[in-house]
Amino acid sequence: MPQPSLTPLSPAPGSPVALGSVSPVWIGSAANCAVKLILPGIADHHVGLVEREDGWWASAGRGPTLLNGRPLAGLVRLADGDVLEVAPGYRYRFGSAAEAVVARAAAPVRGA
């Protein structure tokens, strides 16, 4: 079953990170972060992603974060395609499991 994910946007390095096994999911410099970044200005727990019954939420951590180009303050519900920027050039797109299911259903069937 597809899980929500964070996909790094160029030029940020890395592979997509599946969310859902543990909540909260942290981006930061601490050893327990799912997305670990050792960069100037990145806090140990820079920004958190929290799963609730009604979806995934971004939670302001100890570092400045932009959500879709605006400063993240407090707790904000994430939607498919939302972009978190934790440092210049380090942006991640949120994708929900529902988005993955729709994309798979819309994909053409080959060899049929």
> Which pLDDT band, with edges at 50, 70 and 90, does 104 fall under?
very low
Contact between 47 and 72 under an 8 Å Cβ cutoff? The reply is: yes
Give the residue from 38, 41, 39, 37 showing the smallest Cα distance to 62.
Answer: 41
Q: How confident is the model at residue 106, as a pLDDT? A: 45
Q: Domain residue spans in the chain?
A: 5-106
pLDDT in tens, 6-19: 999 988 888 999 99
Please give the CATH architecture assigned to the domain spanning 5-106: Sandwich (2.60)
* 17 SS3 class: strand
- pTM above 0.85? no
pLDDT in tens, 46-98: 999 999 999 999 999 999 999 999 999 999 999 999 999 999 989 999 998 76
Cα dihedral 63→33→67→11 (10° resolution): 100
